[in-house]
Structure 1
Amino acid sequence: MEKNQDIKYSPHKISRSKKYGNNYWTSRGNKLGKRNIELYSDLEFDHWLTVETNPEVITYCEQPLKISYVLKGKLRTSIFDMWILNQDSSETFVEVKYEKELTSNHPKYDRTKRQIEAQQEWCRLNQKFYEVRTEKTIRRGRHSIENRKSIVTAVLNSQKPACISDVLACITVCNKKIQEIIKEISHFPKEDVNLALKWLYYTGYLSGDIENQIWGNQLEVFKK
């Protein structure tokens, strides 16, 4: 498998014993040529789903870069949670944090604050965008994560179906329910039509309110 020529970073391996209170996830990313990735918390996994299903993202790398900073006279290191390359060629470094970690009464607040400041400064000096993303934005909408997981699973495990161009031709700039599209081209198996719709969402040809509507017959989609 060829390495994506746009990828500038390789993942840093992190000892799981150094991550407190987190869960460990492995998965595969279609944007990474189906390479295995490692994620160190439920929130990092959910964030990855939002990145993998974002058509504006070309590629990304988890745990991409380690930097050093000083806290209370001691030299410490920090690894960004993700590097993202966007379609407009901009690069964004991301730190994923729970909201509670950003509050002054959290026991690790001082360390978190200094870590973020160090990452911000590195990105400023290197002219990269920087974002701290929390569950408020990552888990926006009651169905977002569930739907994105379904889309990622479909894309990872299936080729684009032969009916994809026919499905796209059915979609207009006006909202249309999935059940209406299935009925309109009923000569194709509904499973293939549904798979084509997920591929079209993944590749940025259509959109829909996947944050607040469950992916199913009643979901309204439209051409972007």
Structure 2
Amino acid sequence: MYSPVTMSRNMYYGSNFWSAYSHKLKRDVRFYSDLEYEHWLLVETNSDIAVFCEQPLKIAYEFEGKNTHTIFDMWVQERSGKEYFVEVKYSQEMRKGNKKYNRTMKQLEIQRAWCEENKKEYRIMTEKEIREPRIHLDNIRLLVSLTNHFIEVNPYQEEKILNLINNGCFSVSDLCSSYPSIPLRDIYIILSKNIFEGRIQANLDNLDFGYKTEVWSDG
């Protein structure tokens, strides 16, 4: 397990600092660009991922005659035990002619070489993998915003809803009709909690999370 490398915001060449609470890690997490934050949303809501660490490891190297360093954006370990390091990059920074191209490619080369030497899987995530489909990202952003309300879930209401979902695919509208005594807000929180924890699935890729959202159980 890794711990985040301490970083000062003014030394980092990224932008748009984000601080959030990770329900998965039970601690605050920090990110230094919009894209890093959005990548975290995918990791945080992926029930196959057991644990992760942002900015987990610093590697020193020389670039254009100067000593510098690179820090991986994330280390991830899945429930299966599989682990890998991730670097989050805007695709334009990896195009020749971009002012960050040489630095970016050297950084990726150093990280990839370290992973090969230490027998670790290495992944590069760009906005193409992170932001498409956009509707999925917007939906999981909503799920993460509801995590602070998971403690409000009524176990009796949750059991009733899960028992119904175990029998097939239902829309939020169906659930409201089946259990009119359960407020819509509570249904949303119950569904969000169980999607987050991997107990149920939902069609988050093609429809805004709401009344028409369909949920089902793989078990």
Same fold (TM over 0.5): yes
Instruction: Give 1:184 deviation, angstroms.
Output: 1.4
Instruction: Give 1:171 deviation, angstroms.
Output: 1.3
Segments of 4+ in structure 1 off by > 6 A? none
Instruction: Give 1:181 deviation, angstroms.
Output: 1.6
Conservation of the 8 A alpha-carbon contact between 2:150 and 2:193:
no
Conservation of the 8 A alpha-carbon contact between 2:170 and 2:214:
yes
1: distance between equivalents of 2:77 and 2:167? 28
Q: Could you say which residue in structure 2 is the equivalent of 1:116?
A: 108
Write out aligned runs for 1:3-152 (5 A). 8-20=1-13, 22-33=15-26, 35-152=27-144
Q: Could you say which residue in structure 1 is the equivalent of 2:173?
A: 179
- Name whichever of 63-72 and 41-50 sits farther off: 63-72
Instruction: Give 1:188 deviation, angstroms.
Output: 2.1
* SS state at 1:31 partner: coil
Amino acid at match of 2:114: W
Query: Matched residues, percent identical?
Result: 36
Amino acid at match of 1:32: L
Instruction: Give 1:87 deviation, angstroms.
Output: 0.5
Gaps in structure 1 of 5+ consecutive residues: 1-7
2: distance between equivalents of 1:208 and 1:195? 14
Deviation by residue 1:108-156 (Cα, 9 ceiling, x = unmatched): 1111111111111111222222111011111111322221121112123
Q: Could you say which residue in structure 2 is the equivalent of 1:3?
A: none
Match status 1:201 vs 2:205 = no
How many matched pairs?
216
2: distance between equivalents of 1:61 and 1:118? 20
CA RMSD after TM alignment: 1.7
* SS state at 2:92 partner: helix
2: distance between equivalents of 1:110 and 1:31? 36
2: distance between equivalents of 1:58 and 1:21? 27
Q: Could you say which residue in structure 2 is the equivalent of 1:221?
A: 215
Conservation of the 8 A alpha-carbon contact between 1:39 and 1:45:
yes
Gaps in structure 2 of 5+ consecutive residues: none
The TM-score normalised by the length of structure 2 is: 0.92
Amino acid at match of 2:182: F
1: distance between equivalents of 2:146 and 2:137? 14
> Which residue among 154, 159, 164 is the counterpart of 1:165?
159
Distance 1:161 1:134, change over 3 A: farther
Instruction: Give 1:178 deviation, angstroms.
Output: 1.2
1: distance between equivalents of 2:14 and 2:66? 24
